[in-house]
Structure 1
């Protein structure tokens, strides 16, 4: 296995990437700055400003994620057929509209419309960018320049750099009002659209001219990949608890002001630790052990909160949740992206990444609604919701042990 130079300054590594992968990595930075201006504060806005119940808040967040993740397959197929650039530009325009609707919505129907528009937008641009990143990563790996897992790790680091900037800006803007925050996020995506119009390379899709039927048959005929997508869906479900369970826990202790700083803590962890952890996962653990250990740590995050919540009214359970959940996902995310492409046989990557995200969207829609309902009926200091949350990644860890290849061997593509 080749090894990349041990440059610990991630920015230097990103700068030295070839032009297209560098653009894709920095795209994630820009996307997350705009996205995290709003999303960490949406649950509080819905509950405090609009007076919605926790179950309704969970439904809104779940529908937002499902409209995003559930349509990733469509976005991925469109990217495979028409290319990355038109799909990304369309997604950016729709997200501008979604944030403006959220900024001015004063009732549940408007909130649902805005939330779903922001989700549909990401359903277009995210699989396009991820599939392009996987292809560029394969080229870098085959030429001996960089393992693909490290390119996915850089992608995660750039995203978290945006995720730490977005909430901090959001905290400042929220003092003026949620409407101003939503407008600011829309302005950010207008700038992103303009930059991608100027610099994102144009080109035909990898499967231009091919009908969608063979793509769908190829994807849904790959049983091992489908099992992996189902098991990995717990990753997105767990991550989305930072937007539902975490804000509700902070409300329990009157610690709403800590939300932005906890998101900043998660982002700083990823920026500082993602690259060495990705290298350790690739070089020492391998795909199976890295994914299983990551999901066990995520399950441990919720288990620890279940133990601590009845014992304390401090911020300790929230901090523990963020630290352990982030640590587990630093193991899971780069390896999951690489395994997805390999189980896909390096073909129809937009469609395959779309299925992975759609599975996560279904898990979030069902799980977040159930979690919100459980938190509505459970006493404020009950460990029950947290124990239920812990069971989901624990089951996935067991499934991934059976599904995931022990080495990063490229799977042959099933015949269409």
Structure 2
């Protein structure tokens, strides 16, 4: 397939693949409709203390990222369809509970349900997409890397649309926003109950089978450890970027920076994924992508000690940071998502994807804590302002070098058509 048009590629896909892609879009719409505004609601509407808000947000992250490894194993044990449907039901219940919550205990209950729903839902959808991608690649319709590229585009569209809708509802009632999110997931539930096949990789194997397989797969364990630097790096859009914008006195530009990243993903992800798959392969695309991640932090490190120039030129390091970080993500992630099933020998995909996500979540938890302590040095131009950025640059650099060393152990990328 030679056309790079998003709609052209989408139209050629079979119904199940389209369902999975639209699911990711709707999933992010429902999620980002509520979660970015949760802290505001807890503070202003429920008058919760800062420590309580921190606990809620931390519990949400752990119940999602930390439990992905369990959700993936449950996918392999019970099958994709029941896991997806259960995740949808839990998220609907979670949003309903959150809409009615007026105390910390109830808020935590709703938050845990919302997080665990994603831990069930996401590995199941990713493993279904991987299986679909392998079949479509064998038929010459689309490569699995490109299919995961489309998956990223749909997710990005949802991640942009959700906050816009949430902002529109922010002046109304938070309960209404939660109800709207629950309605989105009710539609997702209905669609999967109607169209997701009952036999989609429904092997019903022992719960620990995937974990045992992962424990014996040393190449994948090293890959997961190295790749976790990606999620930590990309998370710095929310932690480190605001610090740089504060340094140059342009805090209001944060929304524009997110918009820039979204436009890059929506317009450039598909051709870049195709180029990475056909011209580079995982052996070169992953180290190159991680090199761009590292370079993004290094550019800011070079500028951080100096007084920023006046006007829009002061935003140059932040813009370079967003562009390089997004390019690194666009280059590495679809290739990595295609590589995971090959490292897993196309088996126990839920467990493998779940483990990869949980490894990234652990890296974010540990790494962002360390980075957060150092980022105070970057708030003002000084010699020490480069230190946190250099620390952050070193992490994907080490990850990329590790992936480069591992490259000789990657399975053959070529498929017969």
Task: Give TM-score scaled by structure 2 length.
Answer: 0.85
Q: How does 1:337-416 map to 2 (within 5 A)?
A: 337-375=337-375, 377-378=376-377, 380-381=379-380, 382-405=385-408, 409=412
Change over 3 Å in CA distance of 1:369–1:82 after alignment to 2 = same
What do residues 322-345 of structure 1 show as CA deviations (whole Å, max 9, x unaligned)?
Answer: 222111000011100111111111
- State the match for 1:126 in structure 2: 122
2:292 paired residue among 276, 294, 297: 297
Greater Rg by CA: 2
Q: How does 1:208-223 map to 2 (within 5 A)?
A: 208=204, 210-223=205-218
Aligned residues: 404
Change over 3 Å in CA distance of 1:383–1:268 after alignment to 2 = same
Tell me, in whole angstroms, the C-alpha distance in 2 between the residues paired with 1:56 and 1:320: 36
The answer to whether the 8 Å contact 1:228/1:403 transfers is yes
**Partner secondary structure for residue 243 of structure 1:** helix
Q: How does 1:33-182 map to 2 (within 5 A)?
A: 33-41=29-37, 61=57, 63-100=59-96, 113-176=109-172, 181-182=177-178
Change over 3 Å in CA distance of 1:204–1:331 after alignment to 2 = closer
Which is worse superposed, 115-124 or 15-24? Answer: 115-124
Q: How does 1:179-328 map to 2 (within 5 A)?
A: 181-203=177-199, 205-208=201-204, 210-247=205-242, 249-250=244-245, 257-310=252-305, 311-312=307-308, 315-328=315-328
The answer to whether the 8 Å contact 2:28/2:159 transfers is yes
Tell me, in whole angstroms, the C-alpha distance in 2 between the residues paired with 1:302 and 1:324: 9
Which is worse superposed, 9-18 or 301-310? Answer: 301-310
Task: Give TM-score scaled by structure 1 length.
Answer: 0.85
Tell me, in whole angstroms, the C-alpha distance in 1 between the residues paired with 2:24 and 2:201: 21
Tell me, in whole angstroms, the C-alpha distance in 2 between the residues paired with 1:129 and 1:227: 24
Shift of the alpha carbon at 1:115? 4.2
The answer to whether the 8 Å contact 2:73/2:208 transfers is no
Shift of the alpha carbon at 1:181? 4.4
- State the match for 1:414 in structure 2: none
> Which structure 2 segments of 5+ residues have no match?
none
Shift of the alpha carbon at 1:386? 2.7
Tell me, in whole angstroms, the C-alpha distance in 2 between the residues paired with 1:253 and 1:43: 26
**Partner secondary structure for residue 235 of structure 2:** helix
> Which structure 1 segments of 5+ residues have no match?
412-416
Query: Aligned Cα RMSD in Å?
Result: 3.2
Tell me, in whole angstroms, the C-alpha distance in 2 between the residues paired with 1:317 and 1:48: 34
Which is worse superposed, 306-315 or 128-137? Answer: 306-315
